[in-house]
Copies of this chain bind each other. A is one copy, B any other.
Amino acid sequence: MLLSKSCEYGIRTALYLASQPQKEFIPIHVIGEMLGVSPHFLTKILQHLTQEGIMQSLRGPRGGVALARSPSELRLHEIVIAIDGPGLFTECVLGMPDCGEGQPCPLHERWSQAREQVFAMFSELTLEELGRRIVEENLRITDVTSSSLTRNT
C-alpha cells in the first residue's frame, strides 16, 4: 500500500474541504460520515494536521475543521509528509540505508524516476485546482454516494 489509511483519510478530508463552496468550519462528524470512518479516529488524524499547520480547528457550535492556508498554497504532498513521513519520496525501494548514486541498488535508477512521478502526482496541483476539478467534473471522494447522504431517512 502506497499510503497509510490515516493518510488516505487526511487527503480525502483536505480534498473535501477544498471542494466546498463556502470556506466555513466543517464538523468532523460530518466528514467522518461521508468517508465512512469513525469521527473519533478522524479527529485524531485531523488534530495532527492541525498541529502541523495544515488545518485549523474551532471548538463549539459552528466549529469544526478548515484548511489553515489558502487552497492555492496547499498541495497534497504536505499531507503525505505530515502523516506518513517523507520516506516515500526519499527512501530506497528495497529499504537499503545507503542506496544512492554511489552504491545503487538494482532498482535505483528506475525507482528514482517512478518516485519523481509519484511526487509529481501529489505536488503538481494545488488544493484550489483539485477542489475546482472535483466540483466541475463531479469527482469521487466519498464512500457513500451524495444522493444517499441527502435523501437519508
The number of times this chain is found in the oligomer is 2
Cα distance, A60 to B33, chains bound together (Å): 57
Give the residues from 73 to 104 in chain A that come closer than 8 angstroms, CB to CB, to chain B: 76, 87-88, 91, 93-99, 103-104
Instruction: Please determine whether A93 and B130 come into contact, CB atoms closer than 8 angstroms.
Output: no
Among B88, B110, B120, B140, the residue within 8 A (CB) of A1 is: B88
Cα distance, A153 to B148, chains bound together (Å): 70
Among B88, B113, B140, the residue within 8 A (CB) of A104 is: B140
Interface centre among A87, A99, A130, A141 (most CB of B within 10 A): A141
Inter-chain pairs besides A2-B93, A114-B121, A118-B118, 4 sampled, C-beta below 8 Å: A11-B94, A104-B139, A105-B140, A111-B121
Among B15, B95, B96, B97, the residue within 8 A (CB) of A5 is: B95
Instruction: Please determine whether A105 and B8 come into contact, CB atoms closer than 8 angstroms.
Output: no
CB distance from A2 to the nearest CB of B (A): 6
Among B8, B111, B114, B134, the residue within 8 A (CB) of A106 is: B134
Q: Name the CB-closest residue of B to A143.
A: B96
